């Protein structure tokens, strides 16, 4: 390319085009930025706790490691968004506010319900209401998922890890 072709004119001013980063996939670009921000945030927040050692990890060990891994994954996704061409630029599109609101609302509802009605009721309510955000909602599938998630959560968190999470509604607990 000649030097003349790499220059442009605007109102008598000559400027040179600078080679810059071109976003080739908008979805991957913003996903990478989000992963990096959340990963760095978790790693930074975990830095306020004790790391412990490999033999006896402290409360910061796991979240710090996951935060760093998430940030690395975000950097890889961001790199892909800036280097690999995608047909049509993989544009973002509009935000789906209704499903986003339903899912966020179901998580908030779960947080309010858990201490009063226990995991046996709050978790299925969370799963079913969050599933209603999708356009392919099927009640039978949502109830099966809710049952499996409740059983496995009970096995892992209450039986396995001995966490103190209310299982039954507070008016039934003794």
For each of the chain's 174 residues, which pLDDT tens digit applies? 444 444 444 555 554 545 666 778 888 888 999 999 999 999 999 988 888 887 888 888 888 999 999 999 999 999 988 887 766 666 666 778 899 899 999 999 999 999 999 999 999 999 999 999 988 999 999 999 999 999 999 999 899 888 888 988 988 765
CA distance 103 to 133: 7
CA distance 110 to 120: 11
Query: Are 105 and 67 found together in one domain?
Result: no
Total domains in the chain come to 2
Q: Which of 89, 107, 129 marks a domain boundary?
A: 89
CA distance 12 to 10: 5
Look up tokens 């071109």; give the residue: 22
Query: Are 84 and 118 found together in one domain?
Result: no
Query: Are 101 and 148 found together in one domain?
Result: yes
In a domain, 169, yes or no: no
Q: Which of 89, 113, 140 marks a domain boundary?
A: 89
Query: Are 101 and 156 found together in one domain?
Result: yes
Q: Whats the size of the chain, residue-wise?
A: 174
Which pLDDT value is given to residue 102?
93
**Containing domain of residue 135, as a range?**
97-160
Q: Which of 63, 89, 115 marks a domain boundary?
A: 89
Which pLDDT value is given to residue 7?
47
Query: Are 52 and 80 found together in one domain?
Result: yes
Query: Are 60 and 84 found together in one domain?
Result: yes
pTM: 0.59
In a domain, 58, yes or no: yes
74 within 8 A of 35, measured Cβ to Cβ = yes
89 within 8 A of 119, measured Cβ to Cβ = no
Assign 4 to helix, strand or coil: coil
Token reading at 151: 């059983």
Which pLDDT value is given to residue 174?
59
């Amino acid at each position: 390319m000649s030097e003349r072709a790499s220059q442009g004119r605007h109102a008598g001013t000559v400027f040179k085009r600078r080679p810059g980063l071109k976003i080739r996939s908008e979805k991957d670009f913003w996903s990478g930025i989000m992963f990096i921000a959340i990963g760095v945030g978790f790693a930074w927040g975990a830095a306020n706790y004790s790391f412990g050692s490999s033999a006896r990890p402290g409360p910061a060990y796991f979240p710090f490691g996951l935060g760093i891994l998430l940030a690395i994954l975000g950097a890889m996704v961001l790199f892909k968004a800036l280097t690999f061409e995608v047909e049509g630029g993989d544009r973002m599109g509009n935000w789906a506010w209704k499903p986003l609101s339903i899912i966020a609302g179901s998580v908030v509802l779960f947080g309010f319900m858990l201490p009063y009605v226990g995991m046996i009721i709050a978790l299925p309510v969370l799963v079913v209401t969050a599933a209603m955000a999708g356009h392919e909602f099927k009640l039978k599938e949502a109830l099966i998922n809710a049952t499996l998630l409740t059983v496995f959560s009970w096995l892992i968190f209450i039986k396995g890890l001995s966490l103190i999470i209310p299982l039954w509604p507070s008016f039934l607990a003794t």
